[in-house]
Amino acid sequence: MRLNSPKMNVIIKACMKAAKSLIRDFGEIENLQVSTKAPGDFVTSADKRTEKILIEELQKANADYGIVSEEAGLINKSNNKNKWIIDPIDGTMNFLNGVPQFAISIGYEEDQEIKCGVIFNPVTNEMFCAEKGNGAYLNNSRIRVSNKKKIIDSLLVTGGPKYASDIKEKIFSEYVEVSKNVSNVRKFGSAALDMAYVASGRFDGYWQRELNYWDIAAGIVIVKEAGGFVNFFDEDNKNPLKKNIIASNANIHEDLIGMISKKYIE
Ligand code: IPD
Ligand code: CA
Ligand code: CA
């Protein structure tokens, strides 16, 4: 791994420790406790165990930092300057079904900007990481977004809608609109890995509504450091942790924005 600043070392160490327990849990899915947060939205004992290890490790390094974590919520709320943004398992539905498409995602935010992040799939052993100004990596190799020039030749990825979404029709109609104008669209079930795959050129672009900040925080810096563009649209000022995102290589970004919802982009 080429990135070895103190901050990256803290995140990677926490991630590797949590991954050991997560892999054990993945090998024994049938023994996990599962509860329902909302219709169609599950949380397992593995999400909570992984999160506990991550928080303990990150707090050992910086006890006073704010934390925004999916299951634990907000910790050290008064620290608005330095924050860890954590999704202990992004892709819980895949995890629960034995599908090895899930990841630990940790972003570090300073002064309202994500400065570095790690997305780690412990099954494939792929660690995507980036630090502002120092590039994006997959394990030891530098990564870049794809060089696809035309949107019609592009392979995109998306996700949603959630079971309980109030805007299913809008999401489906955007899916149809985009599908008519690109080579193909995939739906893999982990927003963090979707972003990481854009950063590494496996997908040319990604868009999705109704995300939470922790789904994509680490991905933001990884895509940008890989030379990609990230935009948010249709923002809900009352709920800044809710996000609608478009991330892609630079060549197709404008076209993708045009197809989704140009009027919403800042
Ligand atoms: C989910 C995944 C999925 C996306 C959902 C997210 P979770 O995160 O990122 O790809 O479509 O909107 O909630 O619940 O597995 O952490
Ligand atoms: Ca998530
Ligand atoms: Ca999660």
88 and 197, same domain (yes or no): no
pLDDT exceeds 90 at position 150:
yes
Domain residue limits at 201: 151-265
C-alpha of residue 93 to centroid of ligand 3, in Å: 9
pLDDT exceeds 70 at position 7:
yes
Which pair of structure tokens corresponds to residue 190? Answer: 């982990």
Q: Is residue 241 part of a domain?
A: yes
Taking the CA of 37 as reference, the closest ligand is 1
91 and 195, same domain (yes or no): no
209-227 confidence digits (pLDDT tens): 999 999 999 999 999 999 9
118 and 17, same domain (yes or no): yes
Give the dihedral sign, CA 183/187/188/191: positive
Please report which confidence band the pLDDT of residue 41 belongs to, taking 50, 70 and 90 as the band edges: confident
pLDDT exceeds 70 at position 131:
yes
Q: Is residue 261 part of a domain?
A: yes
C-alpha of residue 214 to centroid of ligand 2, in Å: 6
23 and 120, same domain (yes or no): yes
pLDDT exceeds 80 at position 262:
no
pLDDT of residue 165: 94
58 and 184, same domain (yes or no): no
pLDDT exceeds 60 at position 263:
no
Q: Is residue 115 part of a domain?
A: yes
C-alpha of residue 92 to centroid of ligand 3, in Å: 6
pLDDT exceeds 90 at position 40:
no
20 and 134, same domain (yes or no): yes
123 and 194, same domain (yes or no): no
- The CA angle 186-187-188, to the nearest 5 degrees, is 110
95 and 155, same domain (yes or no): no
Average pLDDT over residues 73-79: 97
pLDDT of residue 138: 98
Structural domains of the chain, count: 2
| Ligand 1 atom at minimum distance from 210 CA | 12
Q: Is residue 1 part of a domain?
A: no
Give the dihedral sign, CA 196/130/106/171: negative
Q: Single out the residue of 97, 96, 37 nearest to residue 70, CA to CA.
A: 37
116 and 34, same domain (yes or no): yes
- CATH code at 202? 3.40.190.80
- CATH code at 20? 3.30.540.10
Average pLDDT over residues 79-102: 97
